[in-house]
Amino acid sequence: MKMRKLTAMGLAAVMAASMVPAIPVMADDAAGKVYYLNFKPEQDEAWQNLSKAYTEETGVEVTVVTAASGQYETTLQSEMAKSDAPTLFQVNGPVGLKNWKDYCYDLKDSDIYSQLTSDSFTVKDGDAVDGIAYVIESYGLIVNKTLLEKAGYSLDDIKSFDQLKTVADDIQARKDELGIKGAFTSAGMDGSSDWRFKTHLANLPIYYEYKADGVEDTDAIKGTYLDNYKNVFDLYITDSTCDPAELSAKTADDSRNEFVNSEAVFYQNGSWEYGELSKTFADDELAMIPIYFGVDDENEGLATGTENFWCVNKNAAEEDIQATLDFINWCVTSEAGTKAMAEDMGFTIPFKTAQASSNIFVTQDAEYTAAGLIPVSWNFTTMPSEEWKNALGTALTGYAAGTGDWDAVVSAFVDNWATEKALSE
């Protein structure tokens, strides 16, 4: 009897103990520690290795946690509410900063800020430097040069939108002879892929409008260049590997697989795809050309910019903030740090001590710029909200499938811009 009672008590105690959250082993707090909530799942391993190297070198504890793809904002929200909140996190630009500006440490006097090559790689709230970009990326049309040559063309034949259309139309007409499914990979409008059109392609009309009007942001977009937007999108969905009505279900993987399997010649995406594509293609088989928009084609370069800004949590303990500042500065200045960022992560970083990346799309971007082309800046960081992008995506999907018309796209672009800008203030 006594034995049974003891057993019962023991079991109950174990159950009760399992309810109490594990108490973390206290580290030596005096030195400060770094907790980085990483946004890019594809670079998780590289960050883990880099943080380990940093700990070995300096003894400072660095934890890197990577949020699941598409879950960054949710993960950040719950992590920031914890007592051991991330000391280093990221926002995607001025719109993303709205949620987090009360949590951002002013980086104005930090070492890393002085290492930036240009002040434009920051997000600011008034005078305070809230975020610092740590990677520069480019996007455009990725070309399968082998297939292009097989079709009898070279990159020199494509220098404007009209030429692109001629070449693509011809390739599309001869697709069976060339053994491909279409000129462009499917412009998938599934959630995994629609950002290529509702965000990246939609950047071009915004870029040209801002440029023409001499502004950097606006509360009311006019949609001056929406006809060009329509032309490019029409080209994508007509000279495509699939029926436009099926696009709503096509994913990012579908599109990439079509390109990797040499079923299409052109693929709109960015320099971050290099890692995946280089598994199949040799460097001289790939090229990235600007998304010719029919506005200023002879001067248009790749769309180059960033939506990855590092922010330091100002509510963290003082020694943790200092440890974090030291860590990010080390990442972008030390030999080991810059090497890891250039080679393991394939990043071009906007800092004075950056090392050259082996990513050929990045190299190409530099060549275009050296040849006098003007990079298209990333203005989608000024898009009013996710909501705006989603509504535009829905309108585009409907237009592609024929269930909606282009007026709906125009309205989602222009009218909804004003509505959403007003709402987010």
Partner 1 sequence: MVGKTIKKWWPIFILPTLAAFIIGFLWPFIWGIYLSFCKFTTVQDVTFVGLSNYQKILLDSTFSHSFWLTVAFAFLSSLTINVLAFAIALALTKGFKGTNVFRTVFFMPNLIGGIVLGYIWQTLINGLLSKWGQPLLALSARNGFIGMLILLMWQQIGYMMIIYVAGLNNVSPDLIEAAQIDGATSGQILFKIKIPMIMPSVTICTFLTLTNGFKMFDQNLSLTGGDPGKQSQLLALNIYDTFYARSGAQWKGIGQAKAVVFFILVVAIALIQLKATSSKEVQQ
Question: Residues in the site for partner 1, rule: CB under 8 A?
Answer: 5, 8-9, 12, 15-16, 18-19, 73-74, 77-78, 80-81, 95-96, 98-100, 102-103, 189-191, 245-246, 248-249, 385-387, 390-391, 394-395, 397-398, 401, 403, 423-424
3-state secondary structure of 209: helix
Nearer to partner 1, 290 or 398 (CB): 398
In the complex, least distance from residue 15 CB atom to partner 1, rounded to whole angstroms:
4
Residue 419 sits at φ, ψ, to 5 deg, of -60, -50
In the complex, least distance from residue 167 CB atom to partner 1, rounded to whole angstroms:
29
Write the single-letter amino acid at 401: A
Nearer to partner 1, 323 or 396 (CB): 396
Residues 180/354, Cβ–Cβ less than 8 Å: no
Tokens 């598994």, residue located: 279
In the complex, least distance from residue 423 CB atom to partner 1, rounded to whole angstroms:
8
3-state secondary structure of 290: coil
Nearer to partner 1, 165 or 196 (CB): 196
In the complex, least distance from residue 376 CB atom to partner 1, rounded to whole angstroms:
24
In the complex, least distance from residue 413 CB atom to partner 1, rounded to whole angstroms:
14
What residues does 89 pair with on adjacent strands?
311
Cβ atoms within 10 Å, residue 68: 9
Nearer to partner 1, 17 or 30 (CB): 17
Say which residues have a Cβ less than 8 Å from residue 203's Cβ, sequence separation at least 6. 303, 376, 378, 379, 380
Nearer to partner 1, 185 or 248 (CB): 248
3-state secondary structure of 217: coil
Exposed, middle or buried by CB within 10 Å (0-12, 13-18, 19+), for 337? buried
In the complex, least distance from residue 323 CB atom to partner 1, rounded to whole angstroms:
22
Nearer to partner 1, 43 or 203 (CB): 203
